[in-house]
Structure 1
């Protein structure tokens, strides 16, 4: 194997087409096919399945793809480290954020702090569901991700940042500061899809109490969810930070769910196989320092207390 063939292979899998990959790589398709055939011969494994709609990796191909991305990423970081030796940190650092997390409120402080401390570093922010973010981190498409993560994931090193309680949010008459889960079961609910950490936690709680959720809509977008709740058609469940943001932009109320109380751990995830570049490590340190600082609301509560 050589790096060029690995680069070609990764590009083919990313694009899903030999023809389009050949165009992007500026190489004739027969020559690109020969490179794949040579790679398959070296490994004595079929790596790609060719169909009329394109190509997909075999199981062996998926394994090679994960390793190839890691190898190419390490080579890129080694080159950058040598080139930038003794110079200011630079390059791009990519961070994944799950929608509705406490980290969303840190977006502007993070960008501002990186701009002040690391002016040559470009931060790329990517919002997506938690499972998708973990996949991108493992494959080297993201340097790190902040998401609600309850179970260990192979290939991921997770640092718990904080735990957030889940709140019920609605419009109209409020049930009070606290609301029993049994009462929530009587309400029309807007929830995210079942792969969401929030949805999994809510489904688990209902199941343990032998209750059935009355779900009338599945909504991923925070803006659409805000409009749905404001219409009065139903209520939703969100972590406290996201709940406060939604309530502040509408006339909605928020109530802490009890019997049982529900919470989710917010984690900072990185790949356990791919080392962070010096720039990514510096941005990670900034992100951790921002998350460790008390928010304005926290300081107000401490003063009141």
Structure 2
């Protein structure tokens, strides 16, 4: 294998088409097909399945794709590290953010601080679900990600940032400043899908109390969730930062859940296999320094001990 063939292979899988990949790579399609054939012969494995709709990787191709992205990422970082030795930090640093987390309150301070201290560094912010963000960190598509993370993940190193309490949010019949979980069980609930950290924590709490949740809809979009709450059809459970954002944008109330109280740990995740570039490490240090401040967006953060 050589780096050029790995680069070609990754691009083909990313695009899902030999023809389009050939155009992007500025290489004739027969020549690109020959490069793939050579790679398959070297590994003695079929790597791509060709269909009328394009190409998809085989199981062996998926394994090679993950390794190839890691190899190419490491080569790119090595090249940048050598070129930038003794020079001003520069380049792109990619950060994943789970929507509806306290991380959203860090974005503007982070961008401003990076601009002031590292003017040649470009920060790329990507929002997605926690599971997807971890996958992108592992395969090198993201340098780091900020998300709710309750369980260790292979290939990931997590740094605890803070804990966020979970709140009940609704638009009618406010229960007061706090609400018992048993009372929540009597309400119509809008919750995210069962792979989200919030949903897993809520399901766990209900199970431990031997309660059943009355779920009437599963909603991922904050905009759709806001509309659903405004309709007064039901209530939802959100981390404090997301709850405050929703309440500020629509006539609604928020009540902290107790008996038991529920919280989620927010973590900064990086790959345990891929070293951060000097620029990415500098941005990570800035992000951690912002979290360590006593307040973000005029709100106290509970740091994990």
- 1:240-279 map, 5 Å: 240-279=240-279
Partner of 1:58: 58
Deviation at 1:21, TM superposition (A): 1.0
Alpha-carbon distance in structure 2 between the residues aligned to 1:3 and 1:260? 54
Alpha-carbon distance in structure 2 between the residues aligned to 1:260 and 1:49? 51
Alpha-carbon distance in structure 2 between the residues aligned to 1:179 and 1:228? 20
More displaced stretch, 108-117 vs 202-211: 202-211
Deviation at 1:105, TM superposition (A): 0.6
Alpha-carbon distance in structure 1 between the residues aligned to 2:170 and 2:105? 21
Partner of 2:96: 96
RMSD of the TM alignment (CA)?
A: 1.5
Q: Tell me, yes or no, if the aligned pair for 1:103 and 1:291 is still in contact at 8 Å.
A: no
Partner of 2:24: 24
User: TM-score by structure 2 length?
Assistant: 0.94
Deviation at 1:209, TM superposition (A): 2.2
Alpha-carbon distance in structure 2 between the residues aligned to 1:298 and 1:60? 49
Q: 5+ unaligned residues in a row in structure 1: which ranges? A: none
Deviation at 1:43, TM superposition (A): 1.4
Partner of 1:125: 125
- 1:144-293 map, 5 Å: 144-293=144-293
Partner of 1:298: 300
User: TM-score by structure 1 length?
Assistant: 0.94
Alpha-carbon distance in structure 2 between the residues aligned to 1:4 and 1:258? 57
Alpha-carbon distance in structure 1 between the residues aligned to 2:206 and 2:28? 57
Deviation at 1:207, TM superposition (A): 2.2
Alpha-carbon distance in structure 2 between the residues aligned to 1:242 and 1:204? 20
Alpha-carbon distance in structure 1 between the residues aligned to 2:261 and 2:225? 22
Q: 5+ unaligned residues in a row in structure 2: which ranges? A: none
SS at match of 1:104: helix
Alpha-carbon distance in structure 2 between the residues aligned to 1:216 and 1:273? 42
SS at match of 2:299: helix
1:259-293 CA-partner distances (Å, limit 9, x unpaired): 22211111111111111111111000000111111
